[in-house]
Amino acid sequence: MRKWLYLGGAIATEVTGTMALRGAVDDPGWIPVVVAGYLASFTLLGLTLRERLPIGVAYGIWGATGVALTALLGTLLFDEVLSPTAIAGIALIVVGVVLVESGSHRAQLADHGARRLEGETT
């Protein structure tokens, strides 16, 4: 459970840093928030990996969720336009994250089963 909390924190702080980066374009006062957000994000992502979440899953979810949230928040906070193509892309990101996570879960179950069988035969 802790790995998912760390990952959620990594996503939230990365998106916060990115939104602050966009804000820093007009007001450099946001730069400390950018630096703090990215430092916190990478720290939390590292803690996520320490909790044994596979890097492909952790980075895939972190990156893809960050992209989707950043695009949506850019629309809400900065009046950036999301085209139908961009919305379709976000939907594909969500589907991709679900597929990576479910594929990783199945691989972990298969690996656990193989280890169990090896233990029974030795």
Q: What is the DSSP string of 44-80?
A: HHHHHHHTT--HHHHHHHHHHHHHHHHHHHHHHHH--
Enter the pTM of the model.
0.80
Using CA atoms, how far apart are residues 112 and 108, in angstroms rounded to an integer? Answer: 6
Tell me, what's the pLDDT at 117?
64
Question: What's the longest Cα–Cα distance across the chain?
Answer: 66
The pLDDT tens digits of the residues spanning 81-92 come to: 999 999 999 999
Is pLDDT above 80 for 43? Answer: yes
> 6-15, 79-88, 100-109: which has the minimum mean pLDDT?
100-109
Using CA atoms, how far apart are residues 42 and 49, in angstroms rounded to an integer? Answer: 11
Tell me, what's the pLDDT at 5?
98
Is pLDDT above 80 for 111? Answer: no
pLDDT-derived band at 99, boundaries 50, 70, 90: confident
